[in-house]
Chain A
Amino acid sequence: MNIQEYILSGIVESYVLGLANPEESVEFESICMAHPEVHAAREVFEKQLEDRLRLQQVAPPREIKSRIFSQIGMEQTRSPEEPGNSLKRPVMIQRSGFARFVAAASLVLLLGSVLLNLYLLSQYKRSISQYKELLVSQEQLAHANQSMNTKLENYESAIGHIRDPRMAIVKMPGVPHSPAPSGMATVYWNKDSKEVYLLVNQLPKPVTGKQYQLWAIVDGKPVDAGVFDLPEEPQLMKLKIVPNAQAFAITLEKKGGSETPTMEAMYVMGKVTG
């Protein structure tokens, strides 16, 4: 193809004015890309056409511009800046004011959103720490509950023993010349199983190095029934099995107990009845 002939054929003008059919247009566009001289010829004609139409322009009524700008003003987000034209375009200024209002409102909303987010974040953090505190106190409660359960089981077990009709109750008040005359202890002795439970009602706290010892009196002779420490709270303590006894007594002995009781240190004694 002769490019100069192509340029002069009228295709350039036909394309620019929109008179070329689709096939001609596609062909022209590809030739234009391949041949700078075709592109240059197109540019020249476009420029001449533009310049000529500008020379012969007809100013549209002023209101058209207002209408256009108020229509696109609804769609656009940017604020226009038109210094020095306030008298010419009152509608522009109105829209400009509106756009500024929208921009300012957007900023306020953004700031509000940021503050709300910060507030919600701090609330969230506070909730997290409160949640952790609750977890800890819940664990403490569970722990306390468990120890209460253990205690309750002990009491239930003790009450179970006391209620047992085979259980002989031996009250042991303070003996004459006892270091603690107002002392009191109770032995619960199961005559079937021969188990011995002791409840200390009132005994003074032993001095360091000493321990109380329970004795079963069998045929007038004391038999060791076990040593014990005073529990912090009154509770039933299980001591040694005692097959046979007519009475029980408690003496204060050296730590670990003695083979024979120290008679001067006898605190309480009681006879088995029934």
Chain B
Amino acid sequence: MGLTPTYNEHELIAALKARDNQAFNYLYEHYSGSLYSIVLQIVQNATLANDVLQDIFVNIWRRIETYDPAKGRLFTWMLNISRNASIDLLRSKNYLNSRKNRELTDDVYVNDQVTRTNTDSIGLNKFLTKLRPDHRILIELAYFKGYTHEEIAHIENIPLGTVKTRIRNALIQLREYLK
């Protein structure tokens, strides 16, 4: 991409809002790999991840007007779009049907243990392996499955306060891990 101009974040956002195709090309080249790794970790299926990634970038293109820099960096916004799109797919009827066709078991947690080995080495999963198991399961449910704290308290049969404390502690560890 030697001939493609580089952008600082401010310029990139302005160019994207101006529907600049070259800027969108730059955006894809710089961020698709990072976002794809998160999508893969959540969806855990390459074919589905490809479809989700396509939807994500089309959505970024369409919804760039709604991006508010006051609420966070562009990447953070795109990361959240990616995570939400992946979780939506995870919960959609189509995905459940395809899973049923693929797997004989409906137990997503057992299944996760089997398939996660594929993505263990990428993205935040590498960080997860460093967490205590009782913290890790909560991050998996909250971040990678999209459950609310209340839902997790119900699923894990532990008090809501404990869920919140453990997740906060895990996130503090994540901050230290990223430093």
A: residues with CB less than 8 A from B are: 8-14, 16-19, 21, 29, 33, 42-43, 45-50, 52-54, 56-61, 63-65, 67-69, 71-72, 75-85
Contact = CB atoms under 8 A, between A and B. Distances in A.
A42 B174 contact: no
25 contacts: A10-B168, A10-B172, A13-B172, A13-B175, A18-B83, A33-B70, A46-B72, A48-B175, A49-B178, A50-B34, A52-B178, A53-B37, A53-B124, A59-B36, A60-B36, A64-B50, A64-B54, A69-B25, A71-B58, A72-B61, A76-B19, A76-B21, A76-B61, A78-B19, A80-B25
A78 B20 contact: yes
Contact of A80 (B21, B148, B167, B169): B21
Contacts of A21: 148-149
Contacts of A68: 28, 53-54, 57-58
A76 B116 CA distance: 38
B72 A60 contact: no
**Interface size range of chain B in the complex:** 35 or more
B37 A72 contact: no
Contact of B58 (A29, A49, A72): A72
A45 B178 contact: yes
Nearest to B40: A58
Given A10-B171, A46-B72, A46-B75, 14 more contacts: A8-B172, A11-B168, A16-B72, A21-B148, A46-B73, A50-B79, A58-B40, A60-B32, A60-B33, A68-B28, A71-B54, A72-B24, A72-B58, A84-B2
A17 B143 contact: yes
B83 to A, nearest CB: 6
B48 interface: no
Nearest to B126: A56
